[in-house]
Structure 1
Amino acid sequence: MLRVPRSAGVTTAALALGLLATTPAVGDEPAVSAPRVVAHFDLAKGQSPENIALEPDGSADLTFSTARQVANVTRQGRTRVLATLPAVTNAQTPVVGRAVVLGITRAQDGTLYVNYATGTRATGIWRIPSGGGKPRQIAQLPPTGLPNGLALDERRGVLYVADSVLGTVWRVPTSGGKPKAWATGAALEPTNPRPAARVGVNGLRIHRDAVWVSNTNTGTLLRIPVRESGCAGTIETRAKGLYAIDDFAFVDRHRDTVLAALTGGSELTQVRPDGTHRVVLTRKDGLSNPTSVAVRGRSVYVPSAAYFTRSDPNLLLARVHQRDRG
């Protein structure tokens, strides 16, 4: 999540700052092809799809940020609301100024976990029963932060949360309880001096014995090893020059190739293990400020929140080419 704009003027200024170049395309075949929008959503109802988790049947569970909802969307575009997070009086959420539901992750038994940012004691991780139902808060996070990306390590029984304002990766038991600041440091912190654009560590994924995160303000993709003890290792920079990177996904569980949502430029970018990257989908393909990515088999799912374009929030599906999986 980059941010929910308060006005079109502020949005335009935010997008003009910090533009970074991407690596030119190489190779003779795109990483992604046959994009198609399978569902269109309604901005007036707050249906900006922020983050995504996939169900076994190939449907997608999306967080609708300002609607405070979690919805299931089939590959044919049918949409069903699974849960609505409780309304908060006088929300004072940093950066966005309103209550928003952001990151989502799914357990094998179908339980969903989401991040709810409110600027109040309701800020934290909420659990939703399999198939939908009443959300319940299992952990409080600092109301001064913006809990954004979320991932689940079922083997260790912990959740990891990227706090975009406090520049922290939190670790929380799936049973709930007090969060632990698992990783901190300058690489995770926001760098934009304007409060309305201070978004540091953002997207978060667990991959090959490490927690991977993006930093929106610095345009970087970072890897944080998980030591045998469970503690965080030294933060490594794996890619730079990713303008307004939001969330991302790995194309192959065994390798480090990433598809990343560049929300500011409405692009999907392939990031190779050596850090080079190229754009594979653009606004012409249907993207409208994409915020997250999910990959299953040869399918890639890309939700677009339309935070800045203010046009056509949607869910796009495309095909991942086997050849570019290295």
Structure 2
Amino acid sequence: MRHLISTIIALLLLGLFLMPASAVAADMEGDFTGTAVGEAAFDLANSSGCPTPEDTPPGFGITTITDAAGTAGSGGAVSLHSVHCPLATGGITSGQMTFTMANSDEIHGTYTGTATPIPPNIGDPILVTINIALNGGTGRYAHASGAATLDAELVFEGLEDLAWPWEASWTGTVSYGVDASLQFSRSADRSEPVALDGATVNGNLYVFLTPLVPPESGAISGVEFWVGGALVHTECCAPYDMIGGTTDGPATAAWHTPEVPDGEATVTARILFDDGTSQDITATATVDNSTPLPAEWGFGYSMDADRSDARPLLQSYAVSGSVYLFVFPFDPGLSGPVDLYLDGQLIRREYEAPYDLLGGSSDRAGVALDTTTLPDGVHRLSAIAVDSNQQAAVPFVVDNTPSDVETLESFPQPGPEGIAVDPEGNLYATFARDGELRMLDPAGEWTTVTTWEVGEGSGPLGLEVDGAGNAYVAVTTFNPGNHGVYRVTHDGESVRLPGSEAIIFPNDVAFDQQGNLFVSDTVGGAIWRLAPEGAAEPWLVDPLLLGTGEAGYPVPLGANGVAWSDDTLYVANTEQGHVVSVPVNEDGSAGTPLVTSHPQFLFPDGIAVGADGRIYTALIAQSTIAALDPATGALEYFATALDGIDWASSLTFGEGALDPMSLYAVNYA
């Protein structure tokens, strides 16, 4: 029985060393010291099926059951339960044990040890040394690891009593905590997760701890999420989402990375255990929103809740008063929600089109943005399609200063197409669908100067007035009998200029300093010239003047508005969205054309060159008047639909009694 006795003693002492001291380090590794007392009992019926020792009668087996209680160095209570089989020979013990902490978390371990002297004599002390290997458990100890050494002294007093009391002390270390990582998904359902650490990210991300429900969850009282040292959100329950979620559904919000400067960003999930300790799980990602996924949609605005007459909201566009803002076009083909931001702050998540900044329904926007609550100046509207990570943003201007745009006259639709002024201050306007040229005198009286027979979709368009007060009008009728360019006197006498009937689509006209008249051919992609008393002839035919057909009209819309300044002819190309600058050679021929454009220079129609050298343009589809700098490509908006601009088609600077520093424009709508 000597081998049996030594085995039992070693096992009993084993339970004492695993009492862990408290640990608060972020890596969850701490020193373990403590003491414990307990009692070992022996199951002679061998209910656990231990092997029969060689020096015992046949069928005799012993199962050793140990229970102990103690305290760790921090004062935390711990209990031990162990069931093992003693070795048949020698002084070596081996077995497995379970330690239960005060919060019911368990630590599992295996051990080996020695006891000397073996065999002992009654009254001799037995010195026991046991080496413990920790290998998991439950709760926060599900992934525990570590080692400890237990030293004990036991006095052998005989075999009369098979329930032996003992006591021991131990030292060691243990590492424990949640074996988790930070991951992210592009979808609220957390599908296809990717490790956050080392990733390059942009747009909206759903960040969370994985596994979604760690085995240690029973010991976790909450998880704090930090970004760059700032607390973002605290989650009480698994799954632990950085911006919140539900226990049985998707994450409720995404991390909007454009709110973080580009560069390295450290995200920390601080796991709070119910005993007051914590563990940090960190990930460092590179935020790069300099090249987001481009969106095939943008933003629009309307002054009506039903979004009627919606127009694109373009870069640097000015708004005022109450305005409805939304993703444009209304149905951009997205399958998931869209997060809408104003100046970097999440305003609303819209789950289906139309995606309104302040909410709405399929047929009505919910609430108008009261721009008077915002400071005048530049603001930023942005949106992220959550599922696809498409991003769009536009800087726009809030300007609630009183508008200096004045309506001089209103007409029933359709409105005028072209406008010009003469040295006497008379204002001329063409009405394409009525086939009329009208004049407004300084006294405010309108007169119909002349008319043409026109068909559907044609009529008098652009015009110019010479120093003698004669109006030159481009008339497109596609009827050889009256198609071409006309000179119209004050008294209404109308003469078609020779050769102009050959121009496919005469649209606008402009004089140079020598009195040559230049005419744009919108369909032919050309500029024609009529010398004084001469016939029309092609002056420049170039692909830069051709239309693309993208506007969807029956004919392509290329060269449109024309204006002359400093030996250069400027031509607006409607569908290509640019201005062509054509210098004039010494012999009067066309020089090499140059292009000036801007991403927001869309569907230009009539143009006029200002004293500052900029090209003032009626951007007809935007209901906007803007100035394009031909030298730099810079674009500045001057008037919008909020000022009463409604499909402005032509403009001119004042002359004579009309202020030469003011622009005069006509709305075609």
Change (3 A) 1:204 1:70: same
What is the aligned partner in structure 1 of residue 438 from structure 2? 71
- Are 2:423 and 2:467, in contact at CA under 8 Å, matched by a contact in 1? no
Secondary structure of 2:437's counterpart equals strand
* Structure of greater Rg: 2
What is the aligned partner in structure 2 of residue 103 from structure 1? 462
Deviation per CA, 1:211-257, whole angstroms, max 9, x where unpaired? 100000011011000111000001111223311110111220xx421
Shift of 1:77: 4.6
- Are 1:248 and 1:260, in contact at CA under 8 Å, matched by a contact in 2? yes
Change (3 A) 1:274 1:29: farther
Q: Read off the aligned partner of 2:623 and give its amino acid letter.
A: S
What is the aligned partner in structure 1 of residue 476 from structure 2? 117
Shift of 1:71: 0.9
Question: Which residue of 518, 523, 528 corresponds with 1:160?
Answer: 518
Shift of 1:75: 5.8
Question: Which residue of 35, 59, 83 corresponds with 2:450?
Answer: 83
**Pair 1:209-2:567 in alignment:** yes
- Are 2:499 and 2:537, in contact at CA under 8 Å, matched by a contact in 1? no
Q: Read off the aligned partner of 2:571 and give its amino acid letter.
A: V
Shift of 1:292: 1.0
1:134-283 to 2 correspondence within 5 Å?
Answer: 134-141=493-500, 145-155=504-514, 157-177=515-535, 179-192=536-549, 194-196=552-554, 198-241=556-599, 242-252=601-611, 255-272=612-629, 273-283=631-641
Change (3 A) 1:145 1:22: farther
- Are 2:419 and 2:651, in contact at CA under 8 Å, matched by a contact in 1? yes
What is the aligned partner in structure 1 of residue 652 from structure 2? 294
> Which whole-Å CA distance do the structure 2 matches of 1:288 and 1:197 have between them?
23
Shift of 1:57: 3.4
What is the aligned partner in structure 2 of residue 127 from structure 1? 487
Q: Read off the aligned partner of 1:185 and give its amino acid letter.
A: D
Mean alpha-carbon deviation: is it higher for 55-64 or for 183-192? Answer: 55-64
**Pair 1:303-2:649 in alignment:** no
- Are 2:463 and 2:472, in contact at CA under 8 Å, matched by a contact in 1? yes
User: Which runs of no fewer than 5 residues in structure 1 stay unpaired?
Assistant: 1-14, 92-96, 307-326
Q: Read off the aligned partner of 2:419 and give its amino acid letter.
A: I
Deviation per CA, 1:22-45, whole angstroms, max 9, x where unpaired? 457899999x951110101122xx
Deviation per CA, 1:90-139, whole angstroms, max 9, x where unpaired? x5xxxxx444101111111111111111112221111111x231211122
1:15-54 to 2 correspondence within 5 Å?
Answer: 21-22=314-315, 34-43=404-413, 48-54=415-421
**Pair 1:61-2:428 in alignment:** yes
Change (3 A) 1:24 1:195: closer
User: Which runs of no fewer than 5 residues in structure 2 stay unpaired?
Assistant: 1-309, 319-376, 379-396, 655-659
- Are 1:39 and 1:77, in contact at CA under 8 Å, matched by a contact in 2? no
> Which whole-Å CA distance do the structure 2 matches of 1:260 and 1:174 have between them?
28
Deviation per CA, 1:171-228, whole angstroms, max 9, x where unpaired? 1123242x21111111100012545261001000111101100000011011000111
> Which whole-Å CA distance do the structure 2 matches of 1:164 and 1:66 have between them?
18
> Which whole-Å CA distance do the structure 2 matches of 1:210 and 1:285 have between them?
32
Mean alpha-carbon deviation: is it higher for 160-169 or for 189-198? Answer: 189-198
Secondary structure of 1:196's counterpart equals coil
What is the aligned partner in structure 2 of residue 284 from structure 1? 642
Secondary structure of 2:549's counterpart equals coil
- Are 1:111 and 1:128, in contact at CA under 8 Å, matched by a contact in 2? yes
Change (3 A) 1:144 1:120: farther
What is the aligned partner in structure 1 of residue 203 from structure 2? none
Change (3 A) 1:143 1:173: closer
Change (3 A) 1:239 1:294: same
> Which whole-Å CA distance do the structure 2 matches of 1:20 and 1:211 have between them?
30
Deviation per CA, 1:262-310, whole angstroms, max 9, x where unpaired? 110101112224111022211111111001111132211011110xxxx
Structure-1-length-normalised TM-score: 0.76
> Which whole-Å CA distance do the structure 2 matches of 1:24 and 1:195 have between them?
26
- Are 2:564 and 2:609, in contact at CA under 8 Å, matched by a contact in 1? no
Q: Read off the aligned partner of 2:486 and give its amino acid letter.
A: W
RMSD over aligned CA atoms reads: 2.7
> Which whole-Å CA distance do the structure 1 matches of 2:512 and 2:434 have between them?
28
> Which whole-Å CA distance do the structure 1 matches of 2:653 and 2:553 have between them?
33
> Which whole-Å CA distance do the structure 1 matches of 2:316 and 2:645 have between them?
20
> Which whole-Å CA distance do the structure 2 matches of 1:184 and 1:22 have between them?
32
User: As a proportion of its length, which structure holds more strand?
Assistant: 2
What is the aligned partner in structure 2 of residue 310 from structure 1? none
RCO higher in structure (CA 8 A, sep ≥6): 1
Structure-2-length-normalised TM-score: 0.38
What is the aligned partner in structure 2 of residue 317 from structure 1? none
- Are 1:38 and 1:76, in contact at CA under 8 Å, matched by a contact in 2? no
> Which whole-Å CA distance do the structure 2 matches of 1:234 and 1:293 have between them?
27
- Are 1:102 and 1:114, in contact at CA under 8 Å, matched by a contact in 2? yes
> Which whole-Å CA distance do the structure 1 matches of 2:553 and 2:418 have between them?
23
Change (3 A) 1:142 1:80: closer
What is the aligned partner in structure 2 of residue 10 from structure 1? none
Report % sequence identity.
Answer: 25
Aligned length: 273
Secondary structure of 1:284's counterpart equals helix
> Which whole-Å CA distance do the structure 1 matches of 2:457 and 2:313 have between them?
29
> Which whole-Å CA distance do the structure 1 matches of 2:547 and 2:420 have between them?
26
